[in-house]
Structure 1
Amino acid sequence: MKRENEEEVKGEEHGAKAVGLLELTLYFLRLGALGFGGPIALAGYMQRDLIPRGWITDREYQEGLAFSQMMPGPLAAQLAMWIGFIRHGVVGASLIGIVFILPTFLLVLLISYLYVAYRGISVVQALFYGIGPVVIAIVALSALRIAKKTVGRDWRLWLIFAVVALTTVVVRAEIALLFLAAGGIGVLIYHPPRYWRRGTTTPAVWGISGFLGIAGAPRLLELGAFFVKAGAFTFGSGLAIVPFLHQGVVLQHHWLNERQFLDAVAVGIITPGPVVITAAFVGYLVDGFVGAAVAAAAVFSPVYFFVLFIGRYIIRYRENAGLQGFIKGATSAASGAIAGASVILGQGSVIDVPTAIMCAASLLILWRFKVPEPLLIAVAAVAGIFLYRG
């Protein structure tokens, strides 16, 4: 209670009104249930709704957005937890994180149940026949947009993008250590060693790579460990998790086949809330409800702990050239991995002339027009019913 009061006083000192935990919780419950459009759209809804009400200040929002963009993990969930934390401490971050994720988690559980129960029926196969090419288009454009935003005109970052994309296609897997290597190259590019003694050093918060692999662990423990690691490497956007999941879920552990994995990505896109809720669908196919709960909790746990223990330091050092360089390098690598994954997934989804046409048309529509992705997927699903030949 004392901590909550301190946070509310802090908010008032910065020009924000005191907002009750219940009010804030109900807002994020509604946003989690109705918030379509991806992470940028969800972040935009928070800015549109919360600043005019005086629940957060523009400065607090900008700091939270900058933190969420710098750190790995789903941006919208991280920003929601950040807002809960600055207003109501650990309790606020915890409760808002839960209610923001809960609606889409329950929806994914329902979809997962129906998928498992009826996927042998031809109409379900036809639906995902049409959905697959659109998902490929969405993933490919996501990689390009992240790259254009982060890489800009820096040929060195485009080289990182190309190398990681090509590596992903050739080895048919994402190599997580490439993210760290790319981040290190980014540090050398934007903060070379000759400046290290003059400026502040970048906080050592990036050692999150390989310690979570648990050989021979029981399946649920192995599932949880994998998704914790996945949540810690989703640099760039929610879809950055796609190549990482493909590597672990399909190639390493063989929990899903290529078709099931692409369907899992589609479920993450068509549901409201964070795209990485794909983890719950994967978990359900692996081990039912318990698997879904373990996977969902695991994939969001890094975000939660980043908010509680690292957020304040990232904000403090966000202008540090070394930190900025690491983020640019790692995000360039992430967008390259997404591009490579779209090629791999496309080989299993774009399988004939109709799917090739649907993929090309989706690319053109998404590139030229602001069409909601779930709407385009719904249209493609209907088209799949008419075009599928079994």
Structure 2
Amino acid sequence: MHTIPTYSLKQLIIYFLKLGTWGFGGPVALVGYMHRDLVETKKWISEEDYKEGMALSQLAPGPLAAQLCIYIGYVHYRITGATVAGIAFVLPSFFMVLLIGWAYVSFGGLPWMQAIFYGVGAAVIGIIALSSYKLTTKSIGKDYWLWAIFLVLACFTFITEEENIWLILAAGVLIWFVKSPPSRNKKSVHLFSMPVLLQIPATVSSSGKLWQIAWFFTKAGAFVFGSGIAIVPFLYGGVVKEYQWLNEQQFVDAVAVAMITPGPVVITVGFIGYLVGGIWGACIAALATFIPCYVFTVLPAPYFKKYGKHPAIKAFVDGVTAAAIGAIAGAVLVLAKRNLVDVPTALIAITTIGILYTFKKIPEPLIILAASLTGIALKLLVLPS
């Protein structure tokens, strides 16, 4: 049943503009903020709608946080809500990476970037670790089956450093069979098979750099599942290895830009697009990445809204959610392994967790600013290389 919203479309737009402007920490933190703000604090979105959005966001290809934002917009305001929520969420960070891209090109690179990233990367690990912990305890509860799935996906993601959509789907099917054995429900089967159909690959021959940008980033948005950690290897293979648009250092800087700017980590595509093709390159790269995830979120959404309360669907969603959160936890461990490279970075991450856990009202941007200054001080003054 379509419930009456307790908030206006304008309020939703303002919220996502703010989240896109101040929401640091990548997909794990962002989906955590949405749960904290919209489910727990404001109570605009129900726990059930949030879980359905999380499940759909993991099943369909594209960036996790952006898809959840689009789905939340869809819950009460349908296509209009999904569209304006998605635009409001992405635009602030897109403008930021455009500005950084202009500075990067104009001033011959960003020599201070690694010093800032040294501190920010460590603080971000602390932020997303705490968000992942809260998301896990809230969503999984005391169900042993869900905890088993969580642990398997966390270990798999940590060991392989990639997220596997087939394991996530299998987790949903497992809980479906355990808690609500399937009957001959063709609509349910159609719904479950939809994410699999979305994975069918395609090829196209194109000439011209902007066409190449459009096609490559469409593939990035359409065929890469999960959070920012999943898209980084795909981007590396394309922009560095295949097309040789960027060198190794430029790509590392692009990933750093994604980490020090708020909003979705995938917004690094705007920075990469700017380096490759200027303003038009940035716009095409961003549109090509986000339009597929918008389509693949909005099209299946009515099925989730209509059949989401069915016991079989609910069991499937529970399994997928546990698997998705496990994959996110594994991604946190991978990021920690890459970013916590010495004692100072480990201390920054631990301090960040301690501060945010103890003083819940401290805004994340303040933590990011302090970590940036700490990184500069340590890297340039205390530990110069």
2:118 — aligned with what?
129
1:223 and 2:213 equivalent? Answer: no
1:151 — aligned with what?
140
Q: Measure how far apart 1:214 and its partner are.
A: 4.1
Deviations 1:15-64 (A, max 9, x none): 67998xxxx4x65554443333434545776789999xxxxxx7x87886
**Residue in structure 1 matching 2:305, options 306, 315, 327:** 315
**Residue in structure 2 matching 1:71, options 56, 70, 78:** 56
1:210 — aligned with what?
199
1:137 and 1:17, CA in 2 relative to 1: closer, same or farther beyond 3 A? closer
Q: Is the partner of 1:211 in helix, strand or coil?
A: coil
**Residue in structure 1 matching 2:229, options 220, 240, 243:** 243
1:297 — aligned with what?
287
Q: Measure how far apart 1:379 and its partner are.
A: 0.7
* 1:354-365 paired onto structure 2 within 5 Å: 354-365=344-355
Q: Measure how far apart 1:362 and its partner are.
A: 1.6
Distance in 1 between the 2:48 and 2:165 partners? 28
Deviations 1:57-104 (A, max 9, x none): x7x87886565344214323332244443xxxx566545543453233
- Whether the 8 Å contact between 2:132 and 2:328 is mirrored in structure 1 is yes
Identity of aligned residues (%): 30
Distance in 2 between the 1:61 and 1:336 partners? 22
What amino acid sits opposite 1:266 in the alignment?
Answer: M
1:33 — aligned with what?
17
2:209 — aligned with what?
none
1:64 and 1:356, CA in 2 relative to 1: closer, same or farther beyond 3 A? closer
1:372 — aligned with what?
363
- Whether the 8 Å contact between 1:119 and 1:125 is mirrored in structure 2 is no
Q: Where in structure 1 are there 5+ consecutive unaligned residues?
A: 1-9, 52-57, 235-240
Distance in 1 between the 2:161 and 2:39 partners? 39
* 1:47-66 paired onto structure 2 within 5 Å: 65=50
Deviations 1:156-214 (A, max 9, x none): 22222222222223223333322222222232233234xx2599845524335532464
1:30 and 1:364, CA in 2 relative to 1: closer, same or farther beyond 3 A? same
* 1:60-139 paired onto structure 2 within 5 Å: 65=50, 67-72=52-57, 73=64, 74=66, 75-85=68-78, 90=79, 93-95=82-84, 97-115=86-104, 120-139=109-128
- Whether the 8 Å contact between 1:29 and 1:103 is mirrored in structure 2 is no
After TM superposition, the score normalised by the length of structure 1 is 0.72
- Whether the 8 Å contact between 1:143 and 1:338 is mirrored in structure 2 is yes
Root mean square deviation of aligned Cα: 3.9
- Whether the 8 Å contact between 2:74 and 2:81 is mirrored in structure 1 is yes
2:61 — aligned with what?
none
1:54 — aligned with what?
none
1:5 — aligned with what?
none
1:342 and 2:332 equivalent? Answer: yes
1:175 and 2:167 equivalent? Answer: no
1:103 and 1:325, CA in 2 relative to 1: closer, same or farther beyond 3 A? same
Deviations 1:117-139 (A, max 9, x none): 55844433211111111122223
- Whether the 8 Å contact between 1:161 and 1:336 is mirrored in structure 2 is yes
Q: Is the partner of 1:207 in helix, strand or coil?
A: helix
- Whether the 8 Å contact between 1:83 and 1:93 is mirrored in structure 2 is no
Deviations 1:329-356 (A, max 9, x none): 2222222222322333333322222112
Distance in 2 between the 1:64 and 1:335 partners? 16
What amino acid sits opposite 1:223 in the alignment?
Answer: F
Q: Measure how far apart 1:227 and its partner are.
A: 1.6
- Whether the 8 Å contact between 2:273 and 2:282 is mirrored in structure 1 is yes
With a CA cutoff of 8 Å and minimum separation of 6, indicate the structure with the bigger relative contact order. 2
1:189 and 2:173 equivalent? Answer: no
1:294 and 1:190, CA in 2 relative to 1: closer, same or farther beyond 3 A? farther
1:328 and 2:318 equivalent? Answer: yes
Q: Is the partner of 2:162 in helix, strand or coil?
A: coil
Distance in 1 between the 2:116 and 2:7 partners? 48
Distance in 2 between the 1:228 and 1:198 partners? 28
What amino acid sits opposite 1:150 in the alignment?
Answer: S
1:216 and 1:330, CA in 2 relative to 1: closer, same or farther beyond 3 A? farther
After TM superposition, the score normalised by the length of structure 2 is 0.73
